Structure 1
Amino acid sequence: MLLSALALAALHPFTAAAADEAAGFPSKPVHIVVPVAAGGSADKLTRLIAERLTERWGQNVVVENVAGASGTIGAARVAKATADGHTLLQQGEGLTLNAILFERLPYDGQKAFTPVIKAVVNPQILVVNPKTGINDFRGYLARAKAQPQSISLGLPGNGGIAHVAHEMIAQDTGAQVNYIPYSGGGPATLDVLAGHVDATLITLAAVTDHVRAGKLRALAVTTGYRSSALPDVPTMAEAGLPGFAVESWQGYFAPAGTPAAVVAKINRDIQAVISAPETQAKLEDMGFKVAGGTPSDMVRTLSAERLRYAKTIQTAGITLR
């Protein structure tokens, strides 16, 4: 047995070192870069996970909001970070969208990051300020078609999933709205609440409490299923757009070159955190569904979404520079 073990070590000289590196991780505070403004769903999700990881690891897990340029500024910071697992990026389909939309990026959109875990999936939800007088999704579509550009729609990031999803709606129905881009879901929500803009299409978890309080009127969710957090809100397929379904997700990435054993440890620990009954209940109450899975699962998701979203973006003529 000892001979076999030594032979394997000779064949794979970095295996023991990698195992030691993972066992000693983290050896200092871990920073998770959230590439949008504070207050949105990505921020809320990451702060909850960071709190639980701090308890689990015995090291501070610090959330840094680095907004700007549709998330590429924050992503660039992580791409340039030391590849040891101590700097992570929160991202989802936005990573794919930016790789399609930008002519140039300060990093390679397909090679700069190592997928770690898809943490949650969630619907986007269309909400309006009640003072708009729009009561349901059919009414929204009717006004946007009869009076093009009369509805102002706050986007939680130009070229993000909300933008692309709404372009899918527009291409299917002919509805036209006036897009107002923001640096994240938090600022967009505040302006809808204040009545500065009429509506937003946003991650459900970002506005759940406002909908429950009656401060925002929910018209429909983008997924093919209703959310258990707001079960009375219909899907867009139910509310007038048969067959429509867009599911958003949020996960975590490490810089390319991060040791596989460290990636595997982070994956296992985040999986354990989000699967814990108390945390899972909080996430579901916010409007998320726990996903989990392996880094390979994320690779397949990224590949499939690139094909789908590229077609919509090309048809709509969306570009970012």
Structure 2
Amino acid sequence: MSIKRKSAVRAGLGLLAGVVLGAGLLSNFAGSAPVPGEDANRYPNRPVKIVVPVSAGGSADKLARTVAQKLGEKWHQSVVVENQPGASSAIGNAAVAHARGDGYTLLLGGDALSLNALQPGKQSYDPLRDLQGVTKAVVNPQLLVVRPGLGVKTFQEFVALVKQRPGEISMALPGGTGSLQHLAVELLNERIGAKTNQIPYPGGGPATLDVLGGHVDAMLITLAAATENVRNGKLVALAVTTPYRSKALPDVPTIQESGLPDYVVESWQGFAAPASTPRAIVDRINRDVVAVLREPETAALLENLGFTIAATAPEAVDQTVREDIATYRKVIASADVQLK
């Protein structure tokens, strides 16, 4: 997919400013027949798989593995994390959407579910029809980081450098083309009036490796995926995209504080199941995942990484994704952004 920016981009992308970009997963829809013979009281009685639609090493992977370990202890069953990256998360998302709805294949999804729905060529599954939400687990800021050798320490210095060298400063997109990071960077470029050189990646892990290695100058990434590298000085954190600072990195200012008063981007990650999964099993999984997320030890671990615990009911995320799909559609149309 490529994004062609036209003269209307400034006005259209302005609609995105001040809107918290988040999403949720969609509930079971009419026509999705439940799987017979699955008893929620006996669930799970065999191993459970959690599909992560991005590469290992990123924030989604860390979240999935943390929850998987705790669920395995609670359920006395193996809970296996399987990374299926590619096509801006569409490959892994589709794999779960087309899986048997018995509760033994789950998705650790995020913003890509709603974004995929608006992108031609990524519609081998329909999130409105083929998936249902289990819980929105966490919300989190995106974090703008640079390699130390770039020589900038603040957001204002980064903006000045991009304006001085338009099109030269490379920016990794951990979620790939068409991801939340992509739209957020397009918005940032529009707001500062200069263009970065965007490089798509299949996940936060490989994107981070290239920034750490000095092959890419900067990156917009989920804060939880970069916290450790910021603390040990391997990456320089410039700003977070939310209107609030993160407790994990309290000294890092917001982009709003740094000169773009209406810039807001917040992402989310959570769990989904095939739409045909019986509601009793979805409720059982929701209850246990929420309990795990709210355990003081788990919550402290995730919050220290930079996550904010959400731990919602399935219905709460369903309404959010509907609203976000509508929001993204309006922004793309208003800005005359063409998805190919």
Scaled by the length of structure 1, the TM-score of the pair is 0.91
Cα displacement (A) at 1:306: 1.5
Counterpart among 95, 99, 102 of residue 113 in structure 2: 95
Larger Rg: 1
Aligned partner of 2:257 among 238, 252, 258: 238
**Separation in structure 1 between the aligned mates of residue 221 and residue 128 of structure 2, nearest angstrom:** 25
| In the alignment, structure 1 residue 178 sits paired with structure 2 residue 197 | yes
What are structure 2's unaligned runs of at least 5 residues? 1-35
Deviation at 1:311, TM superposition (A): 3.5
The CA distance in 1 between the partners of 2:120 and 2:271, in whole Å, is: 21
* 1:80-121 superposed Cα distances (whole Å, 9 cap, x missing partner): 111011100111111001111234521113211011100001
Contact kept in structure 1, 2:155 and 2:238, CA below 8 Å: yes
Question: Residue 14 of structure 2 aligns with which residue?
Answer: none
Is 1:61 aligned with 2:86?
no
Deviation at 1:310, TM superposition (A): 2.6
- Unpaired runs of 5+ in structure 1? 1-16
Relative contact order: is structure 1 or structure 2 higher (C-alpha 8 Å, sep ≥ 6)? 2
- The 1-side partners of 2:140 and 2:202 are apart by 20
- Alpha-carbon distance in structure 1 between the residues aligned to 2:122 and 2:81: 27
Percent identity over the alignment is 53
Residue 290 of structure 2: SS of its match in structure 1? Answer: helix
2-structure distance, mates of 1:106, 1:68: 13
Deviations, residues 273-315 of structure 1 (Å, cap 9, x unaligned): 0000000000001110100111111012112222322334442
CA distance in 2, matches of 1:104, 1:129: 33
CA distance in 2, matches of 1:133, 1:311: 38
Q: Which structure dedicates a bigger proportion of its chain to helix?
A: 1
Name which of 219, 229, 251 aligns with 2:270.
251
**Corresponding residue for residue 267 of structure 1:** 286
Partner in structure 2 of residue 5 of structure 1? none
Q: CA RMSD in A?
A: 1.8
Q: What secondary structure does 1:88 align onto?
A: strand
| Aligned counterparts of 2:327 and 2:222: Cα–Cα separation in 1 | 19
Query: How far is 1:318 from its partner?
Result: 5.5
When structure 1 is superposed on structure 2, of 108-117 and 219-228 the one drifting more is 108-117
- Classify the secondary structure of the residue corresponding to 1:110: helix
Counterpart check, 1:219 vs 2:238:
yes
CA shift, 1:47, in A, is 0.1
- Distance of 1:318 and 1:286 partners within structure 2: 36
Q: Residue 147 of structure 2 is aligned with which of 96, 120, 129?
A: 129
SS in 1 for 2:117: helix
Identify the residue that residue 27 of structure 1 maps to in structure 2: 45
- For residue 337 of structure 2, what is the aligned residue in structure 1? 317
1:140 aligns with 2:191: no
Q: Which amino acid aligns with 1:264?
A: D
Preserved CA contact (<8 Å) 2:143 2:237: yes
Cα separation, 1, equivalents of 2:178 and 2:265: 15
SS in 2 for 1:26: coil
| Match in the other structure for 1:11 | none
Partner SS for 1:100: coil
What's the TM-score, normalizing by structure 2? Answer: 0.86
Query: CA offsets, 1:42-83, max 9 Å, x none?
Result: 000000000000001111100000011111111111111110
**Partner AA of 2:39 in structure 1:** E
CA distance in 1, matches of 2:95, 2:120: 17
Call closer, same or farther: CA 1:303–1:23 in 2, change over 3 Å: same
